[in-house]
Amino acid sequence: MEIVKFNLDTHELLVVAQDETFSACIAVHSTKLGPALGGIRLRYYNTSKEMVDDALRLSEGMSYKNAIAGLPFGGGKSVINAAMWTEEIAAKYAELLNYVNNELEYFGAPDMNTDNNCMKDILDAGGEKVFYEPNGGDCSLATAYGVYNSLKAVAQFQNLSGKDFTVNIEGLGKVGAELLALCSESGWDVCVSDLDKEKAFAFAGLYSAGYAAPCDIKFLDGVYCPCAIGGTVDKEFVEKSLASAVCGAANNQLASLDIGMRLSARSQLYVPDFVANSGGVIAVGVALTTGVEDGFGIDNPHTEDRIDFIEKQVSSLLEAQTTMVETRNTQLIATKVAREIIYGE
């Protein structure tokens, strides 16, 4: 397997590994605040460039997410270009991970299409610096709980409650499904969508939620809640969507940075993804600093209060978006705050 290291102006490290059966990369954006921490993502990309670009964007987002969350970690991300997890992938990724940790310190953790069992496979293959919870566990509920707290801030800001507050959830993976349960319990009006139509219908029936086709959900009235892939808040969304706000779990929701200002111009509220979805990394980060014996779910006594604080952070960002003309782009506001924490800018 060939492993190539790249030196970039924007990131501290980019390492790409490839052979005839394996393609992956690890990007470390910053270790200014401490060891890099970020998920190990598994998904199929059409090209190596798409894979690398995703890792670079995601690792930068992890730096800002960890900073805003007050964690003593920098930002990194692993991306594996594959459709499914195998022991061969675990072994080759372990080699790549150890190579990176010979350069600087990076902790990998469960992410899209990977879980605690995958982390165990990496450790068994000789990989180091992987977050594994021996008693099992999943930080998806912690991520969903953070998004839920963000949605509570949006509801309060819009002075809406019960069925008057509508949340349109796109993607019913681990986080989306947990979020649906929390939203339903709050008595909000919920609509769901997923590429797996049968799954979407099943969840809609279970929670008495509405259903929308994947091509329609982001254009509906209410809060658009992307919980799958990023880049869905694009020019078409700005031109056509009836959504009053965007607040979800997906990473890199804005197709480009200028979209944030366009949302503001249309009075569409936006909660930056690296604030809304920070519950998961808070759970992992707290466990790494306090000890995994307490687990990394929201039942960890050190975690829940930290995730509850997200609601106050979001309330402050929404207030800034609507009252301060010079800082109406909440993505830029949150990024500026994060960069001040990291670099003192």
CA distances to 183, 214, 226 from 144, rounded to whole Å, are 10, 20, 12
**Does residue 312 have an active-site annotation?**
no
Alpha helices of 207-294 — where are they, by DSSP H? Answer: 235-240, 258-265, 273-276, 279-290
Bridge-partner residues for 167, per DSSP? 190, 223
The Cα 249–Cα 271 span in angstroms is 10
The Cα 129–Cα 284 span in angstroms is 13
Q: Which two tokens stand for residue 343?
A: 């670099």
Tell me if 24 sits within 8 A of 79, measured CB to CB.
yes
The Cα 228–Cα 216 span in angstroms is 15
Q: Which two tokens stand for residue 84?
A: 């499914």
Count of alpha carbons within 13 angstroms of residue 134, beta-carbon side: 4
Residue 139 φ/ψ, nearest 5 degrees: -90, 10
Within its chain, how far is the Cα of 275 from the centroid? 9
Tokens 């800001």 belong to residue: 157
In this structure, is the dihedral angle defined by the CA atoms of residues 112, 136, 284 and 308, taken in order, positive or negative? Answer: positive
CA distances to 187, 227, 286, 341 from 180, rounded to whole Å, are 11, 11, 25, 33
Tell me which H or E stretch contains 205. Answer: helix 197-206
Bridge-partner residues for 241, per DSSP? none
Catalytic residue among 77, 92, 174, 218: 77
Those residues whose C-beta lies under 8 Å from the C-beta of residue 258, and which sit 6 or more positions away, are none
Residue type, 220: L
Catalytic residues: 77
